Chains A and B, each alone.
Chain A
């Protein structure tokens, strides 16, 4: 089985530009999570979905961040406009409702200059 797929793997953009990160969860998984990882703040949960419905977005740092899950096999995390402090590695993870472990994608390294 393919694991969690994220694209792009690396993104370099200029401040003020819109950035869209993409995630394909493991087929059949009910939950999808978006995380951000930085040296300063560690691993932070941004938002998570259950059956495509956002459950908790309290970790989204600002209104510049938004996430959608239009169907069970695709989710996006959008930053508009991007700022240098958004530079981080963004991970997507998915899990099955009956099991509690999460499976992580390889991450997207975002650099905002």
Chain B
């Protein structure tokens, strides 16, 4: 069975600091992995995706994530946080033959302080 665990429901960083949001997955088949961002009162927006090409994936707004099969991880990073990055971030996994269904993590709320 597929599952996603996001470590830390809340993460707080200072503006300009490194952002690291953790995601570990469990999958019995090769996974497709995603990060979504949700700003207040908005829908989820695709940030980036891993679909078995390059293991380091670059997304929008300066975010990137690295797929590490040995660690079953897909952590999201950004070198320098901006105030506008404050939002909730969701990691999700899908797999071939799964009807495009996404299994979401519980989400991590990122706060950015001046």
* Chain B associates with chain A: yes
List A residues at the B interface (Cβ < 8 Å).
4, 30-31, 33, 42-43, 45, 48, 50, 55-56, 91, 93, 95, 97, 100-107, 109
| A-B CB contacts (within 8 Å), total count | 53
A106 to B104, CA, bound (A): 18
Max chain A Cβ within 10 angstroms of own Cβ: one of B51, B102, B104: B102
Quote the shortest CB–CB distance from B102 to chain A (angstroms): 6
List B residues at the A interface (Cβ < 8 Å).
32, 34, 36, 41-46, 49, 51, 90, 94, 99-102, 104, 106-107
Interfacial chain B residues near A102, Cβ < 8 Å:
46, 100, 102
Contact assessment for A31 and B99 in the assembled complex, using a CB-CB cutoff below 8 Å: yes
Quote the shortest CB–CB distance from A94 to chain B (angstroms): 9
29 A–B contacts, CB within 8 A, in A order: A31-B99, A33-B102, A42-B107, A43-B90, A45-B101, A45-B102, A48-B99, A48-B101, A50-B100, A56-B99, A91-B43, A91-B44, A97-B100, A100-B32, A100-B34, A100-B49, A100-B51, A100-B94, A100-B100, A101-B34, A101-B46, A101-B49, A102-B46, A102-B100, A104-B36, A105-B43, A107-B42, A107-B43, A109-B41
Chain B, residue nearest A42 (CB): B106
Interfacial chain A residues near B32, Cβ < 8 Å:
100
Choose one: A4, A31, A104; the contact of B100 (CB below 8 Å): A31
A33 to B44, CA, bound (A): 13
Chain B, residue nearest A9 (CB): B41
Chain B, residue nearest A107 (CB): B43
Interfacial chain B residues near A95, Cβ < 8 Å:
100
- Indicate whether A104 sits within 8 Å of B51 (C-beta atoms), given known contacts A48-B99, A55-B99, A97-B100: no
Taking A95-B100, A100-B94, A105-B43 as given, write out 10 further A-B residue pairs in contact, using a Cβ cutoff of 8 Å, ordered by the A residue number.
A4-B43, A33-B102, A43-B44, A43-B90, A48-B100, A50-B99, A93-B44, A100-B51, A102-B100, A102-B102
- Indicate whether A43 sits within 8 Å of B99 (C-beta atoms), given known contacts A104-B43, A105-B43: no
